[in-house]
Amino acid sequence: MPSDRLLDDDLSLGKGLRDRVVVVTGASSGIGRETALLFERVGARVFATSGDRTGLDALAQQMNDPSRHYFHSADLASTQACEGIIARAIDHFGEIFVLAHVAGALIRKPLFEVTESDWDYQQDVNLRSGFFLNRAACRAMVDAKIPGRIINFTSTSWMMGPLNGSDAYVAAKGGVVSMNRGFARQFGQYGIRVNVIAPGQVNTPMQHVDNDPALVAAAAASCPLGRMGEPDELARVVVFIASDQASFVHGATINVSGGILLY
């Protein structure tokens, strides 16, 4: 059962989330997995989705009561699959209250080696998927008169610029910020709060794939806190934004970088 400390106090992290339906993308690893687990801890019902079926099965094993949740494999590079995620969640649970779009994809290559397919895939997963997921979720919330929450993910690199072969990824993440502002402007009138989180260097599988360990260590050392963030530290921010505690947080790009981006 969820901890009373996380649920019932006026200052609790999960205020207003008990039995609410939360869609979490990228739920098989990293920030997405920790987000799904924390939403369960505060009493929400989780629709966890990822392209990694094995990772989803492992997530189900980590949950206290997987029967309360739903685990759905989907390819976010497909527009049809993105819209299908929201439809499937509503078919199973009857409604959705939160979309936490955590999933992302990074193909590290020097700029002159980036192919058209590399570019297209990273735009599809990092930007296009967000548009169609956000749109489908907002439509469902408006139709059901649910003042829900949309939480997207960008990166501090949207302001700082690309490093270590991340040019295509960063271009998409800049688009996510603009997209988020558009949805926030249009759907605030329905009570739907739309925000985007900008993580800095976080200790996730994506951080280490095709990356020089020396560059990873240098990135951690460059942070004023002297370390990378951990996935659960980002998950706590997601749950806070989704909760009633953040009732006046809307249209924001939230810097969670340990000070690697200062402004």
**What would the DSSP string read from start to end of 68-86?**
GSEEEE--TT-HHHHHHHH
pTM of the complete model? 0.93
Instruction: Given the residues 70, 169, 190, 263, select the one marked as catalytic.
Output: 169
Per-residue model confidence as pLDDT tens digits over 185-232:
999 999 999 999 999 999 988 777 766 788 788 888 889 999 999 999
Is 186 a domain residue? yes
The pLDDT, as a whole number, for residue 210 is: 67
Active site residue 121: no
CA 92, CA 67: separation in Å to the nearest integer? 12
Number of domains in the chain: 1
The pLDDT, as a whole number, for residue 153 is: 98
Is 179 a domain residue? yes
The pLDDT, as a whole number, for residue 221 is: 87
Is 234 a domain residue? yes
Segment 6-18 shows an average pLDDT of 80
pLDDT at 132 over 90: yes
The CATH number linked to 204 is 3.40.50.720
Residue 233: helix, strand or coil by DSSP?
Answer: helix
Segment 160-168 shows an average pLDDT of 89
The pLDDT, as a whole number, for residue 128 is: 98
Segment 116-136 shows an average pLDDT of 98
- Could you identify the residue written with the tokens 């709060």? 193
The pLDDT, as a whole number, for residue 208 is: 74
Q: Beginning with the edge strand found earlier in the chain, give each strand of the sheet holding 21-25 in spatial order.
A: 70-73, 45-50, 21-25, 98-101, 149-153, 193-199, 253-256
Is 150 a domain residue? yes
Cα 176 versus chain centre, distance = 12
**CB–CB of 38/7 below 8 Å?**
no
pLDDT at 10 over 90: no
Looking at per-residue pLDDT, the higher value among 79 and 205 belongs to 79
Per-residue model confidence as pLDDT tens digits over 96-109:
999 999 999 999 99
pLDDT, averaged across the chain: 94
pLDDT at 2 over 60: no
pLDDT at 5 over 60: no
Is 263 a domain residue? no
Segment 136-150 shows an average pLDDT of 99
CA 71, CA 86: separation in Å to the nearest integer? 13
Which has the closest alpha carbon to 84: 25, 34, 29? 25
Q: Amino acid identity of 17? A: L
* Beta strand ranges found along the chain (DSSP E): 21-25, 45-50, 70-73, 98-101, 149-153, 193-199, 253-256
Q: Which domain, by its residues, includes 161?
A: 4-256
Using pLDDT thresholds of 50, 70 and 90, give the confidence band for residue 249: very high
Using pLDDT thresholds of 50, 70 and 90, give the confidence band for residue 93: very high
pLDDT at 247 over 70: yes
Q: How many C-beta neighbours within 10 Å does residue 143 have?
A: 10
Is 262 a domain residue? no
Per-residue model confidence as pLDDT tens digits over 41-66:
999 999 999 999 999 999 999 999 99
CA 11, CA 24: separation in Å to the nearest integer? 24
